[in-house]
Structure 1
């Protein structure tokens, strides 16, 4: 036996030891893979009925949404009618405001003239009364002075 054959035997022994050392974790890993496969199969068995229930729920939700959409269409129609009524009421209010402005302007001009005339008339009458009172007072003062001169 030469050195090459001895080295080959040593290498083969080391390789055998390496295979034996790695065999234990690989066997344990096989059990883990089997457990994972079983869990995936169980999950797959449970997912089918669950997805069926989800599909039924989604269909029910779509039906309910369709009914809500129909209700919302009715509400939108009612809101459109209310908007139209509000717009008409706003137009009527604007027309009444314009009419009130026109009537006010038409009535105010003659009323202002009548009020001014009345005020002027009152002022003139008061001034005339005051002037008459003043004349009477002057006349009485004049008579008193004349009487006082005559008495002297």
Structure 2
């Protein structure tokens, strides 16, 4: 169970609800440096995740193909325009009937694929941190297909090169 991810999501939602209602204004003097600090922190998290890479060519190929697909389908714009509808339609209350249903997917996912997936997450975090710091402005949403593409690429590379 990804407790860290769930805790992050919970804190973001809670902060998003409570924060605007506190009527605390953070001055520009503090706001801009804080954004940079958060960006640098995200950069560190991304680097730590990226160093777990198992197959660097897989990660780079997935990143390139994911970006091309994201840009082609203009995922960033579509996500911004449809966000309210998507949130309304999503059903987060799905409960697994048993532990076997949850583990079914894990039969097809190797440790190599998981390490490459974590590495992709690290790279996406680095890209996001560079956006936060102001060094780069790349639509992270348009690169999200990489998170899916990495699995078949990693699988194929494991047979071809390993």
TM exceeds 0.5?
no
TM-score (norm 2): 0.21
Q: Larger radius of gyration, structure 1 or 2?
A: 1
Higher helix share: 1
TM-score (norm 1): 0.22
